[in-house]
Every structure is written in structure tokens, then in C-alpha cells.
């Protein structure tokens, strides 16, 4: 069979990324230009700055990705690009670039869902992994538990009712003086702390979907595999306030470790409950928080105890990158998915929608 080589572009948040992926699972190049240093000054991602930086970087990043793959645009079969969800101005830069290249070189254009990309990151280093499997997507903007029925076909079992897990990491990190980006910093500092020092609340939802989701916003009924992290975030903030008011010193590493223990417990418990209910044999994690060392260790143990094969991408493929978009685009290409010249950025694109 002829090789299918995808040039993929990702610009949904604060990384400008391009990659070349051959036949879905062979990454020929994976270039990421991070804007983290720039946004750190402001304590979080500033959308307008992100868009401007994408415009500045995107051509260089694409050139470098072709150069590292030792290819030219003439060797590319199709262009894959993230078109949602994400920051609208940031997404538009990637979408416009992808359309321009595809139009000029007369090649197919494939709009990719960012979360489908995160899930697909698991295919890159695990040649044996094929659907169906259960996947927990844990990023800065999303926390989803999904059954991947087939390539690009998802059944959503649960999602967060309020904050995403990564968002909670980032907010708590700011509150305890670690700054942005919170996840990797809490991951590091927590290693020095006692995870049992402070007992932060766990979200308790039973199989009927009843439970103590006391802080969750919104009116939709809670499902048995939903998540909630804003209550935990509030509990950390309340703890810090109480310490301030009573002039009690608090320990940064202990707060980080205790917060992380609560997040990890919730993520592991919910995933394993679903794995048992659906009799799952393969379980994967994806998204920025999936690079968390404590979470990976806990998931590994929980899966081993149940005879479930556990999959996770390398940290660089967990956080935003274009290789994962190239892999997702490949499977969409095989299914015949093609986007038109009217492809637009869709900031709140739902998983499974096109
Ligand atoms: O998937 P991602 O790069 O972007 C989104 O699609 O949102 O995820 C970014 C999120 C941020 O909230 C960041 O703090 C978190 O992933 N993160 C981590 C770690 N590395 C990144 N959270 C916990 N532990 C980490 N090691
Ligand atoms: Zn992401």
C-alpha cells in the first residue's frame, strides 16, 4: 500500500505545533514552539497574545517539521489541523494556514477534534492498541471518560460537571504560590509533601449517579462517571484562608501532595468503576494531566490489580502537540473524512461532532 503522510498543525491554545506522521503511527517529526514563558508573566494564557504568537511562529514551525522529516510539501498526502475546541483566535491561525497549504498544493484537508487528537496520542507508542478501549482524557480544558468504539467513534460515559482536572491544578498552583503552569509544578513539589497531611474531599458518586457533587454548577443530572473538581479547589482555598485567619503556617508541599492525592483518587476511582462495569480489558489515559507521575503510578497499580492493560503516551505526547493530530487525521483520512474550504474554528466543538 502507498504510504500516507500527513502534515499536522495544532494551535488551539498556547503551543504552536507541526508534525509529519506516516501511516498513522510513525512520527517523522514533532515540532512544538511553546509560549509558556510569555504567558507565565500574566499567570495564565492570554488569548490575544497566543493568537499573535501563533501567527509569528507557524511558518517556521511547519518548515522545521518538514525539514526534520527530510521531506517537502510534495511528499505530503494530506493536511490535518485542529479546528476545535480551543481559543477561537488561536485555532483560526492553524485553520487558515492549513487551508492555504491544502489549496495551494491541491491536497485533502482534514479538520481534527483536539480531544480525538489527545486520545490518538496513545496509538503512536503502542502499536498493539486498537479500539475498543476505555480512555480518560484529562487536560486543562476537559475531563472526559469515553469508550473508543472505533477510530474516531466515541461513547461518552462521563465528563466534568465544573472545572477540568488541569484547570484545578492550575488554580491551586496559583493559590499556593507556584504560578503557571500549575500541573508540572504541583507534580514536582508534591513529591516532597505528605499526601495525607490534609484530608481534602473526594467526589463521591454512586453507580446510580447520586452523590456529593455539592459544588457543581449546572442543572443536568449527574451521571455515574461524571467528575467534579471545583469543590476540591474551593476546599484548598478555604484551607489556605483558614490558615491565614488563624495565623497558622501551612506547608506548600503538603497542600500540593494532599490536593493531588484527592484528584488522583477521583480519577482512578471513576475510571476503574467504569472499567469494571463495562468489563474493559484495555484502558488509556490522555491529555496534559496524563503526564502526572503520581497519577500514572496509581493507574498502573489499579489496572494491574484488575488485569487491565494500561496505556499512556510519553509526557511530550500528553501535552499539546501536532503528532497526535496527525495520527487522528490519518484514521479520519482512511474513513474518507474531508473538510471543505469553509472549514472554520469551532471553539466549543463537542467530541464526536463534525
Ligand atoms: O492537554 P493540555 O496540554 O492542554 C489542553 O488541551 O488543555 O493540558 C494542559 C494541562 C494544564 O492544566 C497543565 O497544568 C496540566 O495539563 N499538566 C499537568 C502536568 N503537566 C501538564 N497536570 C498535572 N501534572 C503534570 N505533570
Ligand atoms: Zn490539549
The pLDDT averaged over each successive group of 10 residues in the chain (354 residues) is 95 96 98 89 88 96 98 98 97 98 98 98 97 97 96 96 95 94 96 97 73 50 87 96 97 98 97 96 98 98 98 98 98 98 97 82
The rounded Cα 197 to chain-centroid distance in angstroms is 29
Joined together, the cell numbers standing for residue 230 give 471545583
What pLDDT score does 3 carry? 97
140 lines ligand 1 (CB under 6 A): yes
Q: Rounded CA gap, 28 and 41, in Å? A: 34
What pLDDT score does 220 carry? 56
195 alpha carbon to ligand 2 midpoint, in Å?
A: 27
CB of 12 closer than 8 Å to CB of 84: yes
Question: Where do the DSSP E strands lie in 269-322?
Answer: 282-286, 309-311
Q: Rounded CA gap, 199 and 235, in Å? A: 10
82 lines ligand 1 (CB under 6 A): no
CB-count burial class (<10 Å; 0-12, 13-18, 19+) for 100: exposed
What pLDDT score does 278 carry? 97
Which atom of ligand 1 is nearest to 12's Cα? 6
287 lines ligand 1 (CB under 6 A): yes
Which atom of ligand 1 is nearest to 169's Cα? 14
Which of 183, 185, 266 should be mutated for ligand 1, with most atoms under 8 A from CB?
A: 183
What pLDDT score does 206 carry? 66
266 lines ligand 1 (CB under 6 A): no
What pLDDT score does 214 carry? 44
Q: Rounded CA gap, 278 and 272, in Å? A: 10
pTM: 0.95
2 alpha carbon to ligand 1 midpoint, in Å?
A: 36
Joined together, the cell numbers standing for residue 119 give 486520545
170 lines ligand 1 (CB under 6 A): yes
Q: Give me the residue label for grid cell 497499580.
A: 301
CATH numeric code, 131-313: 3.30.420.40
What pLDDT score does 142 carry? 93
251 alpha carbon to ligand 2 midpoint, in Å?
A: 31
Pick the residue whose CA is nearest to atom 2 on ligand 1.
Answer: 288
319 alpha carbon to ligand 2 midpoint, in Å?
A: 6
CATH architecture of the domain formed by 5-122+318-335: 2-Layer Sandwich (3.30)
- Please, where in the chain does CATH 3.30.420.40 lie? 5-122+318-335, 131-313
Burial 270-296 (b: 16+ CB within 10 A, else e): bbbbbbeeeebebbbbbbbbbbbebbb
CB-count burial class (<10 Å; 0-12, 13-18, 19+) for 220: exposed
CB of 10 closer than 8 Å to CB of 82: yes
Q: Rounded CA gap, 156 and 352, in Å? A: 9
What pLDDT score does 37 carry? 84
141 lines ligand 1 (CB under 6 A): yes
111 lines ligand 1 (CB under 6 A): no
Amino acid at each position: 500500500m502507498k504510504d500516507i503522510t500527513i502534515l499536522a498543525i495544532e494551535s488551539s491554545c498556547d503551543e504552536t505545533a507541526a508534525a509529519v506522521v506516516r501511516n498513522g503511527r510513525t512520527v517523522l517529526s514533532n515540532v512544538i514552539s511553546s509560549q509558556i514563558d510569555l504567558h507565565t508573566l500574566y499567570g495564565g494564557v492570554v488569548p490575544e497574545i497566543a493568537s499573535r504568537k501563533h501567527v509569528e511562529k507557524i511558518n517556521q514551525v511547519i518548515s522545521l517539521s518538514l525539514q526534520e522529516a527530510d521531506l517537502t510539501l510534495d511528499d505530503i498526502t494530506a493536511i490535518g489541523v485542529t479546528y476545535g475546541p480551543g481559543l477561537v483566535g488561536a485555532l483560526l491561525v492553524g485553520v487558515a494556514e492549513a487551508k492555504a497549504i491544502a489549496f495551494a498544493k491541491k491536497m485533502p484537508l482534514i479538520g481534527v477534534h483536539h480531544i480525538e487528537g489527545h486520545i490518538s496520542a496513545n496509538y503512536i507508542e503502542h502499536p498493539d492498541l486498537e479500539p475498543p478501549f476505555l480512555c480518560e482524557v484529562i487536560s486543562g480544558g476537559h475531563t472526559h471518560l469515553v469508550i473508543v468504539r472505533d477510530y474516531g467513534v466515541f461513547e461518552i460515559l462521563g465528563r466534568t460537571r465544573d472545572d477540568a482536572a488541569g484547570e484545578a491544578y492550575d488554580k491551586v498552583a496559583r493559590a499556593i504560590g507556584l504560578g503557571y503552569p500549575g500541573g508540572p509544578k504541583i507534580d514536582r513539589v508534591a513529591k516532597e509533601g505528605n499526601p495525607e497531611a490534609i484530608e481534602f474531599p473526594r467526589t463521591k458518586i454512586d453507580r446510580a449517579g447520586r452523590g456529593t457533587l455539592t459544588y457543581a454548577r449546572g442543572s443536568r443530572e449527574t451521571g455515574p462517571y461524571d467528575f467534579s473538581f471545583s469543590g476540591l479547589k474551593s476546599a484548598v482555598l478555604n484551607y489556605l484562608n483558614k490558615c491565614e485567619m488563624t495565623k497558622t503556617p501551612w506547608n506548600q508541599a503538603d497542600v500540593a501532595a494532599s490536593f493531588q492525592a484527592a484528584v488522583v483518587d477521583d480519577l482512578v476511582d471513576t475510571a476503574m468503576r467504569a472499567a469494571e462495569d463495562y468489563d474493559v480489558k484495555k484502558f488509556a489515559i490522555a491529555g496534559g494531566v496524563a503526564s502526572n507521575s503520581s497519577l500514572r503510578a496509581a493507574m498502573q497499580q489499579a489496572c494491574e490489580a484488575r488485569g487491565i492493560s494500561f496505556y499512556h503516551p510519553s509526557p511530550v505526547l500528553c501535552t499539546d502537540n501536532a503528532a497526535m493530530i496527525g495520527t487522528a487525521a490519518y484514521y479520519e483520512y482512511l474513513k474518507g473524512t474531508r473538510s471543505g474550504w469553509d472549514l472554520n474554528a469551532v471553539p466549543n466543538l463537542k467530541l464526536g461532532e463534525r
